Amino acid sequence: GDSVTQMEGPVTLSEEAFLTINCTYTATGYPSLFWYVQYPGEGLQLLLKATKADDKGSNKGFEATYRKETTSFHLEKGSVQVSDSAVYFCALSNTGFQKLVFGTGTRLLVSP
């Protein structure tokens, strides 16, 4: 079945450091790919998405490119802030099914 694998956390960075959170997937067909963020005590928020190969999703300085050849959707940000501290979930949705398959989540801790 479909699955998503994320790097284990926590990822600990200093403010203004470069961020990469790896995400790879296994799926039949051509899934849509998502990054969701969950701030402490809150529900999930859609951060960005990409629906086909080579698409780049971007939002709030975060970017991720849909790489079909490596089945990856790594999340990057050039300069993190303390306010980016949260749990980041990579997910996929296969066409026609709508069901989201989530990775286990990666906790990001950014210190001043």
Partner 1 sequence: GAVVSQHPSWVICKSGTSVKIECRSLDFQATTMFWYRQFPKQSLMLMATSNEGSKATYEQGVEKDKFLINHASLTLSTLTVTSAHPEDSSFYICSASPAGREDTDTQYFGPGTRLTVL
- The binder of partner 1 chosen from 64, 103, 108, 110 (CB under 8 A): 103
Does residue number 88 form part of the binding site for partner 1 (CB under 8 A)? no
Q: Rounded to the nearest whole angstrom, what is the least distance from the CB of residue 16 to partner 1 in the complex? A: 27
Does residue number 12 form part of the binding site for partner 1 (CB under 8 A)? no
Does residue number 28 form part of the binding site for partner 1 (CB under 8 A)? no
Cβ atoms of 80 and 88 closer than 8 Å:
no
Q: DSSP for the chain?
A: --EEEE--S-EEEETT--EEE-EEEE-SS--EEEEEEE-TTS-EEEEEEE-STT-EEEETTEEEE-BTTTTB--EEESS--GGG-EEEEEEEE-TTT--EEE---EEEEEE-
Q: Rounded to the nearest whole angstrom, what is the least distance from the CB of residue 1 to partner 1 in the complex? A: 11
Does residue number 57 form part of the binding site for partner 1 (CB under 8 A)? no
Does residue number 85 form part of the binding site for partner 1 (CB under 8 A)? no
Q: Is the Cβ of residue 18 or residue 97 nearer to partner 1 in the bound state?
A: 97
- The binder of partner 1 chosen from 46, 68, 81, 111 (CB under 8 A): 46
